[in-house]
Every structure is written in C-alpha cells, then in structure tokens.
Structure 1
Amino acid sequence: MTSLDVLRNASALASYSVLLQVMFRVLTFLLNGFTLRFVSKELIGVVNVRLTLLYSTLVFLSREAFRRACLSGVSGTSYSWRQAINLLWLTLPLGMLWAALLASVWLFLLEQPDPQSVPYYGVAVVLFGLSGVQELLSEPFWALAQAHMLVRLKVVTESLAMIAKCIVTVVLVVFARDWGLYIFSAAHLVYTGLLVLCYAGYFIRFLGSEEASKKNFPLHSAGELLPRRADGEPMIDWALARLTWSFFKQSFLKQILTEGERYVMTFFNVLSFGDQGVYDIVSNLGSMVARFVFLPIEESFYIFFAKVLVRGRDVKSQKQEEVAIAAEVLECLLKLVLVIGLIITVFGYAYSQLALDIYGGSLLSSWAGPTLLRCYSSYVLLLAVNGVTECFVFAAMSHKEVDKYNFVMLALSVSFLFLSYILTWWAGAVGLILANCLNMGLRILHSLLYIYRYFQPSQWKPLRGLLPSPFVLLTLGISGAVTAQSEVIFCCDRGWLLRLAHIGVGAACLLIVVVVILLTETRLIQFVRTRLLPRYTKKRT
C-alpha cells in the first residue's frame, strides 16, 4: 500500500469518525439536557465526574499503550498480527487488576455521596468497573478493524451501542427514577456489551469468507482471534512489548493530564457534587467540537504518520517522497484545526450564555456557567493545535525519545495537579480550565520544538500552517467585536425576538468569515476537499 493509499484511507476514516463523533456528542448532549429535568445535579455530578472517571481511567490505562504500540508496530503480515493479538489479550487481565484497585479506592478512600440524594453508589462503582473490563474483550477486534480501515464496522458498531445506551437511560429515567445510579450503570453495561458482541460477531462471520481472502486479511479463521503460539516462535514480540511498556509509562501521565480536573475534583473535594455536575455539563458542551472534530482527526492521522514515516529515523533517512507528503499533510492539518479553533473561540465568547440558557435554563446560565464556557472556548483552540502536533510527534519519535518524553509528561502532570489545586481555590471552577490551558500550552511548545528540529535539515517547513491569512484574522477580530456588542444589546433576558436577532448577527458574521476563508485559504480548501472529504470529491467528479 503506497503512502497515497494510506493517506486516502486515513482521510476516509477521519471523515467517517467525525460523523460518528458528531452523532455521539449530539446524542449525549440531548441526553444530558433530558436527564437534567428528571434527576438532581448531585446525581449527575457523581455519574459524569466520579463514575465516568473510574471507567475512563480503567480503560485508558489498560489499553492505550497496547493500541499505540500494536497499530504502529505490526507490518500487516500473519506472523506479526499473531503476536500483536497475543499482546492485545493482555489488556484483559491488566484491566481486571486495575478494576480491583480502582474500585477499592473509589469505595474506601474517597468521600461517599449522600445515599438519600445519590442512592446505590457502592453497587454502581462495581458495575462501572465491570463495564470497563467487559469493553476490553473487544480490543483485538478493534485493533484489526482500525489497522485495516474497516470504517463501516466501527461506525455501525459504535452507533448501535450508543443508541442502545441512550434508549436504556431515557426509559429508566422516566419509568424507574428511584433506581438512582442503577440507571446509568445498566446503560453503560449495555453499551460495552453491544460493542463486544458486534465486533466479535462481525469477525466470526468475516474470517474465512471469500471477502477476507480477496483482501488478503492476515487472519483466516475465528480461532486465530484467540491467543495462541505460532510454531517455533515466542508468544509475544518482545520489541513490541518494550514499545508497549514505553507507551504505558507515558499513558499513565497522559491520563492525568487528560482527566486532570476530574482527579482534582474527585480526590481533593474542591467542589461539591452538585457543582461538579454543572461544571462537567458546561465543560462537555464547551469541548464538544474538540471531541467530535479534532479527536477523530488526531486518531486517524496518527495512523497515517505512523505508516508513512519510519519511527526513530531522522528526516534525511526517510523516503523523501514520503516526507514530502507527511509535511504537506501536517501543514494543512495545523492550519485547518487552528482556523476552526479560532472560530470557536471568537463566537464562543458572545454566545456562551445564550447556549447555556437554551440548553439547561437558569440551572446553567445563572451560575458561573457562561464564564466557564467562554474560557473553554479559548481552551478548545489549544486542544486543536495540541492534538495534531502530538499525533505527529508520537508517530515519529524513537523508543528512546518516547521514554525521555515520559519525564516531560511527569513534570507536566505534577505541575498541572499543583496548578489545578491552587487555581481552583483561587478562581473556583474557572481555575481548572486555566490550569489546563497552561499545561496544554507547554505541551504544544514541546511538540513544536520537536517538529522544528525534525524538519530543520530539510526543505519542508510545515509549521507555516500556524499562520492563517491576515484577512482571516482581521475578519475574525471584527466578528468578535460585533457579536460581543450584539450580546450586550440583544441578549439574553429580553425575550426570544431579541435573542433571534442576536443569533442572526452571529450567523451573518460567521458567513462572512467562511467566505473569506474560501477566498484566501485556497490550498487549505483543496486539502479538505481532496483528503478529508474524498467521498464528496468523488461525487463532484
């Protein structure tokens, strides 16, 4: 498979993943808005912060290192996939170990919520841990699907699981409200169970079929999905295992940075359960675009960079045509996410209060919600740039460089926790976002320095992607000033007619910004049309 084929497949995967994430976030958005009207904010705080943190910590620490190592370490042959699958199955016992350890901490060391307002906490901790272990059963299937660009499988599987979770939640919230945390525990078990069933069912049917033979799939029967020894070879490729260990040490630190505010809220009790619930809803709303646009792009193009570039080699030791494509893609991706992030930051300032008032009423808009959402709009800009820079850096780093970066992550993790604790006492929930911004800025600086040094001996300068057109920047600045004044005049407690006027002003400004981007960023538009939206391009041609 040539680098252009890999790029085409990665672009298709990114496009479909974006659509999938859009659906997920919209469903979650609607589900949170619905449950806000039936359950207490304390219950939402425990579910969305504490129990979700338990689940995400368990799953991330159990599988993230294995995913990164196996996706970049296998060559696509039957032999390498045999050992990769054996390695991936180790996520299950590791997950059981993490489940037992984390559940003990959540049950015996952390402050317990009031059983009157948040019933069945102990059982919910066990069930959320069980759902995490259950999801790890799908790891070998997920890795095969991701590496071989089985986009439709991922979309259908995760869509069915998410829809089922939403249906179970809505039905139980309406008809069994007294179940408390049982509602969300049952919904989560349904979600992870369906993921495993769909992935396993597909590969049991697919392997050994004519379609698998035509695609030269590395496995030939369902039995090969289980761990087994290849004749005359060790069970595990130890080079791959060492790479996994390097990523594992890094993943522990990355999890602290990713979920740092939840750890601070959970372990230091800086906010009440009710305030945690409101903060989590606001932060999820603020980071929605980052999750369903930037994260799929990061995941898909990490695979592209990992397959196009040889890990650990400098730029002169790489195939120059591969480096040229990688540099072009990196430059365009940087400009794309930066432009999107700037739009979110500019328009997020003037429309935060209106969005929260429509979504959750006075429960969200009368608290510090609007200020939180405005801060998050700026934080999204940093998330956008960091996602692209780190996906390149992690794909290009050698094993030794990955180990060295672990020390950087350690320093960032310690400083983040310290800053979060101090800034939260000083500025409340806003302090958590400020701490995130400072640490994200340091991560971006490290990645930019690595990229600069990597391409310095070559003719390519992908960091030029961080410089949008001056006309785009000017239009965004004017739009920010106009929409901010519009909020003062029309919003947000003066009736729906004036609110619609405020929305109209924003829509007009956004349209002008888009037109300026189309006219001035022609190379970026060409990249989006030909790389990120290949299906759209085919229809046009």
Structure 2
Amino acid sequence: MGSREVLGQAARLASSGLLLQVLFRLITFVLNAFILRFLSKEIVGVVNVRLTLLYSTTIFLAREAFRRACLSRGTQQDWSQTLNLLWLTIPLGVFWSLFLGWIWLHLLEVPDPNVVPHYGTGVVLFGLSAVVELLGEPFWVLAQAHMFIKLKVIAESLSVILRSILTALLVIWLPHWGLHIFSVAQIFYTTVLVLCYVIYFTNLLSSPESTKQQTLPVSRITDLLPNITRSRAFVNWQEAKLTWSFFKQSFLKQILTEGERYVMTFLNVLNFGDQGVYDIVNNLGSLVARLIFQPIEESFYIFFAKVVEREKDAILQKQEDVAVAATVLEFLLKLALLTGLTITVFGFAYSQLALDIYGGAMLSSGTGPILLRCYCVYVLLLAINGVTECFTFAAMSKEEVDRYNFTMLALSSSFLVLSYLLTRWCGSVGFILANCFNMSIRITQSLRFIHRYYQKSPHRPLAGLRVSPVLLGVFSLSAVITSISEVFLCCEQGWPARLTHIVVGAFCLGVTLGTAFLTETKLIHFLRTQLGVSRVTDKMT
C-alpha cells in the first residue's frame, strides 16, 4: 500500500474519529449537565475521578503498549503471532484490575456511604468492565490495521449512546441507587462495544462474497483465537520486546496523563465535592481538545507507523514516503498551533460565561473561571504535544524508546511533586500549572527528536510552527477586544449584555478565521484534500 493511500485512509479515519468524538462529547456534555440537577457533586466526583481512574488505569496499562507495538510497521508480520500477543492483554488486565481494585478498596479513603452509597460495588464493576473491554482487543487492532472506519464509528457511537440513555433513565427512576447507576451503565457499555466487533467480524468472515474478507489475514472467526503450534513461537519476540518498551513508557505516560487524578485520589488534596467541580471544569476545558486532537493523533500515529520505518534514518528510507510524512507533519503542526491559539484567545474571555450557562453559580463562582482560563492555555500545549509525540513514537527505534523512558520517569516524578506543591499553594489551579510545565518539557523533547530525524534531509516539518505576523496581530487584537467586552458586558449585566458579548466574540472569531484562510493557503489546501471528503490528490502543495 502506497504512502499516499495510507495517508488517505488515515485522514478518513481522523475525520470519522472527529465526528465520533463530537458525538461522544456532546452526549457527555449534556448528560453531565443533566446529572448535576439530580445527583450530588460528591457522587459525580467519585465516579468521574475515583472510579473512572480505576477503569482508565487498568485499560491503559493492559493494552496501550500492545496497541502501539502491534500497529507498528514491520517487514513481515505474522498475524497469528500478533493475535496471540494481543490475547495476553486479558490476563494482564485481570491482574491490574485485582491489584488496583484492592488498593481502591483498602488503601484509599472510602466515601461516606450516606453521601456516596455502594462504593465497593462500584469498584468491583468498574474493574470488571475493563476486563470485559479487553476481550475485544484483537478485533479492535485488526480493524484499525485494515482501516475499518465505519466499524469503529458504529461500535463506539452505539455503545456510548446506549450507555447515556441507560444512565439518564436510571438517574430519573432510581436516584437512590447511587454508584450502582454508573456501574451498571459502564458494564453495559463495554459489553455492547465488544459485541459490536465480534458480531461484525463473525458476519464478515462467514460471508464468502465479501471483498474485504480477501484482504484479511484470517479466514475464520476461530483464527482470531489464540493459536499454539510447535512449528513457530507463540508470539513474535521482536514485537514482544517492543511491547515491553512501550509498556514501561505507557506506565509513565499514564502518570502524566492522569496525574492530577492520582494526586487527588492518593494524597487527598481536595474533597470529593471539589474533585467533582474540578473534573467538570476539566472536561469542559478539554472538550475541544478531545474533539479535534485525539482522533487526529490516533489516526495519524497509524499513518506515520505505516509510512516511516523504525531503526532507519530518514535518508536511508524511501524518499517519497519520507517527503509525504514530513509534509503531513508540517501541516498537522500548523493545524494544531492555530487551533490551540484560537481556543486560548477566545476561551480566556468566555470561560465564566460558559461555566455559568453550563452549571450555574456552582461552577461560575469561585475558582471555576480561573481554572478554565488556565486550561485554555494548557490546550495549546496539548495540541502541539499530541502531534509531535504522534510522529516521535512512530519513528523512534526500540533503543530510543528505552532512552525516552528515563526522561518520562523524570517528568513523572517532577510532575507529582510539582502538582502537590502547587496545589497546596494555589488550590486546584496548581494541577493545570504543573501540567503546563510538564507538557512543555515533553514538547521540547519531541521537537529535538524531529529536528535530528530530518536534519540530513531537505525537509523541515517544524516550519509548521511558524505563524504569519498578520495572523498573530489579529489574534492579539481579538484577545484585547474580547477581554474588554467581558469586563463591561459579562456576566452580571443580564442576558442582553451577554448576547452582545457573544456577538463581539463571534465577529472577532470570524475575522480571525478569515485572516487564517487568506494567509495559510497551503494549510487550507491540505485540509481540503486530505482531511476533507475529497480523494487524496497525487500532488501536494
């Protein structure tokens, strides 16, 4: 498969992933606003911080390394061995679920059962849901490797929608269930998700006229099960070693990704109610970042992993592939930078209004607006880091991955210490400040790798981080105008003044986007041809 064909598939996967994330976040956005009217912020805090952390940690530690290793480009990939390796995620998930569940039940502070009932059941069922989801891991990796875009969209959309409906119904009918509501909904979600993949592949492989069946490395559904033969090793040891390298890295990355939740959970720097408020603001602040950057990062990691060969310098690889990868990286960096700047500039002046509309005085008063403003700056760093690490992890050799693990270890340690100290000093804002510091260090490390990687080639993808002076001037002017508008029109002046503030922001946003359209013509062409609905062209400007 040519590099441009892979690019086209990755772009379609990113586009569909973007639509999928829009659906997810809008549903979650509405659901959280709905739940706040029926349940206490303490229950929201325990679910969104404590139990979700248990689930995400188990899932991340059990499968992240396997996904990255098994989706990396190899000269010869024996899918039988790859699938055997993927099935090892299940016993690993069982181990992490039991180990972390014991910690959650016996070593951490247990919520007051009168305020947050059924905590023990919640821990057990959230841990079990992680193991259930891992049952579909071989199916997921096979689908991703062969770019089954519609399958991912349908499976995840259906499971999220059904979980949201079930949660809403239980909140209305049985609010006294407490954590049982979210535990049952979580088990239901993972079960539906896995069943979608199993049913899809069962129907696909049992249909002889299917054209996709001919491109798959398996011909029967039983081929996806573990296969032990004496003629070859159970797993590909090169993939297994790469998985171990990624596993060490994943453990550290998880600390950085969910660091504030670990500090809140293990060090008790915030009570459950404050944790609930922080998590709501955090989810609102990261809404656009997850809508746009996460699907792009996931999809283009697959693209870079298929186009760029590990263990080889850029000048020793197929130059057409290297050129396409450099061009794509440059435009992704430019897209991430401009999107992050837009969020930072306009989010700063509209944070308080957004929180007031979403959750009322409970969110818009106190530290809520300051939290969201700081998060808008953090989103800019998130955007750049997502793209740079996307390429870096796809291009690093095993030895470079191992060396990078030491850097991640230092970052993890410094983050935990810094977040604890800053939180003691300035409250929950300290979490975001610590995240900004560590994200800056990670970006610096990735930029150094990219610079060295392309140093001997004629390509300079880091040029994507340059913005025209005219566009920077428009961003600065918009920041000043919207800040002045917020002072005089928001948020205690009533809805007529608020609407005027919104109109001012919409006008400034329109001017900014128009300027970007006129000054960043190459980026616009890339978005139209690669991330849009049109097919991939043969020539990229």
CA distance in 2, matches of 1:193, 1:287: 27
CA distance in 1, matches of 2:504, 2:212: 57
Aligned to 2:346: 347
CA distance in 1, matches of 2:411, 2:380: 19
CA shift at 1:347, angstroms? 0.2
Aligned to 2:57: 57
Please say if residues 73 and 307 of structure 2, whose CA atoms lie closer than 8 Å, have aligned partners that are also in contact. no
CA shift at 1:474, angstroms? 0.7
Question: Could you give the per-residue CA deviations for residues 305-346 of structure 1, whole angstroms, max 9, x where no partner exists?
Answer: 111111121111111111111110000000001000000000
Aligned to 1:2: 2
One-letter code aligned to 2:55 = Y
Is 2:310 aligned against 1:311? yes
Output aligned runs, 1:285-300, within 5 Å: 285-300=284-299
CA distance in 2, matches of 1:369, 1:476: 25
Is 2:234 aligned against 1:245? no
Aligned to 1:32: 32
CA distance in 1, matches of 2:427, 2:177: 32
- Would the alpha carbon gap of residues 214 and 109 (structure 1) be closer, same or farther in structure 2, given more than 3 Å must change? closer
CA distance in 2, matches of 1:4, 1:46: 46
Please say if residues 82 and 230 of structure 1, whose CA atoms lie closer than 8 Å, have aligned partners that are also in contact. no
Please say if residues 73 and 240 of structure 1, whose CA atoms lie closer than 8 Å, have aligned partners that are also in contact. no
CA distance in 2, matches of 1:192, 1:216: 28
TM-score computed with the length of structure 2 as normaliser: 0.98
CA shift at 1:534, angstroms? 3.0
Q: Which moved more, 1:313-322 or 1:504-513?
A: 313-322
Is 2:15 aligned against 1:15? yes
Output aligned runs, 1:104-183, within 5 Å: 104-183=102-181
Question: Could you give the per-residue CA deviations for residues 230-273 of structure 1, whole angstroms, max 9, x where no partner exists?
Answer: 56111111111000000001000000000000000000000010
Q: Which moved more, 1:207-216 or 1:484-493?
A: 207-216
Aligned to 1:444: 443
Output aligned runs, 1:206-285, within 5 Å: 206-209=204-207, 210-212=209-211, 215-230=214-229, 232-285=231-284
Among 97, 100, 105, the alignment partner of 1:99 is 97
Aligned to 1:461: 460
- Would the alpha carbon gap of residues 51 and 275 (structure 1) be closer, same or farther in structure 2, given more than 3 Å must change? same
| Structure 1 unpaired stretches of 5+ | none
Please say if residues 8 and 536 of structure 2, whose CA atoms lie closer than 8 Å, have aligned partners that are also in contact. no
CA shift at 1:229, angstroms? 2.6
Please say if residues 315 and 454 of structure 1, whose CA atoms lie closer than 8 Å, have aligned partners that are also in contact. yes
CA distance in 2, matches of 1:118, 1:517: 49
CA shift at 1:212, angstroms? 4.5
Q: Secondary structure at the match of 2:215?
A: coil
Aligned to 1:532: 531
Question: Could you give the per-residue CA deviations for residues 272-291 of structure 1, whole angstroms, max 9, x where no partner exists?
Answer: 10000000000100011111
Aligned-pair identity in percent equals 62
CA distance in 1, matches of 2:363, 2:287: 16
Q: Which moved more, 1:314-323 or 1:226-235?
A: 226-235
Please say if residues 305 and 396 of structure 1, whose CA atoms lie closer than 8 Å, have aligned partners that are also in contact. yes
CA distance in 1, matches of 2:68, 2:380: 25
Please say if residues 54 and 102 of structure 1, whose CA atoms lie closer than 8 Å, have aligned partners that are also in contact. yes
Q: Which moved more, 1:215-224 or 1:19-28?
A: 215-224
Please say if residues 116 and 178 of structure 2, whose CA atoms lie closer than 8 Å, have aligned partners that are also in contact. yes
CA distance in 1, matches of 2:377, 2:201: 43
Is 2:73 aligned against 1:83? no
- Would the alpha carbon gap of residues 151 and 230 (structure 1) be closer, same or farther in structure 2, given more than 3 Å must change? farther
Please say if residues 74 and 81 of structure 1, whose CA atoms lie closer than 8 Å, have aligned partners that are also in contact. no
CA shift at 1:470, angstroms? 1.3
One-letter code aligned to 2:38 = F
Please say if residues 8 and 535 of structure 2, whose CA atoms lie closer than 8 Å, have aligned partners that are also in contact. no
One-letter code aligned to 1:369 = G
One-letter code aligned to 1:161 = S
CA distance in 1, matches of 2:212, 2:371: 53
Aligned to 1:47: 47
| Number of equivalences | 536
Question: Could you give the per-residue CA deviations for residues 175-225 of structure 1, whole angstroms, max 9, x where no partner exists?
Answer: 100000000001101100000111000001111422156642111001101
Q: Secondary structure at the match of 1:211?
A: coil
Q: Secondary structure at the match of 1:119?
A: coil
- Would the alpha carbon gap of residues 215 and 339 (structure 1) be closer, same or farther in structure 2, given more than 3 Å must change? farther
CA shift at 1:67, angstroms? 0.3
- Would the alpha carbon gap of residues 395 and 536 (structure 1) be closer, same or farther in structure 2, given more than 3 Å must change? closer
CA distance in 2, matches of 1:237, 1:219: 17
Question: Could you give the per-residue CA deviations for residues 8-55 of structure 1, whole angstroms, max 9, x where no partner exists?
Answer: 000000000010011101100111100001000011000000000000
One-letter code aligned to 2:413 = V
Output aligned runs, 1:375-454, within 5 Å: 375-454=374-453
TM-score computed with the length of structure 1 as normaliser: 0.98
CA distance in 1, matches of 2:212, 2:474: 54
Please say if residues 113 and 121 of structure 1, whose CA atoms lie closer than 8 Å, have aligned partners that are also in contact. yes
Please say if residues 58 and 95 of structure 1, whose CA atoms lie closer than 8 Å, have aligned partners that are also in contact. yes
Please say if residues 73 and 306 of structure 2, whose CA atoms lie closer than 8 Å, have aligned partners that are also in contact. no
Q: Secondary structure at the match of 1:534?
A: coil
- Would the alpha carbon gap of residues 536 and 39 (structure 1) be closer, same or farther in structure 2, given more than 3 Å must change? farther
Among 181, 187, 190, the alignment partner of 1:189 is 187
Please say if residues 73 and 309 of structure 2, whose CA atoms lie closer than 8 Å, have aligned partners that are also in contact. no
CA distance in 2, matches of 1:140, 1:223: 12
One-letter code aligned to 2:459 = W
Please say if residues 529 and 537 of structure 1, whose CA atoms lie closer than 8 Å, have aligned partners that are also in contact. no
CA distance in 2, matches of 1:221, 1:451: 42
Output aligned runs, 1:485-504, within 5 Å: 485-504=484-503
CA shift at 1:367, angstroms? 2.2
Please say if residues 529 and 536 of structure 1, whose CA atoms lie closer than 8 Å, have aligned partners that are also in contact. no
Please say if residues 10 and 303 of structure 1, whose CA atoms lie closer than 8 Å, have aligned partners that are also in contact. yes
CA shift at 1:535, angstroms? 4.3
Question: Could you give the per-residue CA deviations for residues 417-466 of structure 1, whole angstroms, max 9, x where no partner exists?
Answer: 00000000001000000000000000000000111111111111110100
CA distance in 2, matches of 1:536, 1:170: 40
- Would the alpha carbon gap of residues 461 and 537 (structure 1) be closer, same or farther in structure 2, given more than 3 Å must change? closer
CA distance in 1, matches of 2:271, 2:18: 34
CA distance in 1, matches of 2:214, 2:156: 23
Please say if residues 205 and 213 of structure 2, whose CA atoms lie closer than 8 Å, have aligned partners that are also in contact. no
CA distance in 1, matches of 2:359, 2:333: 34
Question: Could you give the per-residue CA deviations for residues 352-410 of structure 1, whole angstroms, max 9, x where no partner exists?
Answer: 00000000000100121000000000000000000000010001100010011100000
- Would the alpha carbon gap of residues 535 and 163 (structure 1) be closer, same or farther in structure 2, given more than 3 Å must change? farther
Q: Secondary structure at the match of 2:269?
A: coil
Please say if residues 293 and 383 of structure 2, whose CA atoms lie closer than 8 Å, have aligned partners that are also in contact. yes
Please say if residues 74 and 80 of structure 1, whose CA atoms lie closer than 8 Å, have aligned partners that are also in contact. no
One-letter code aligned to 2:18 = V
One-letter code aligned to 2:8 = R
Aligned to 2:469: 470
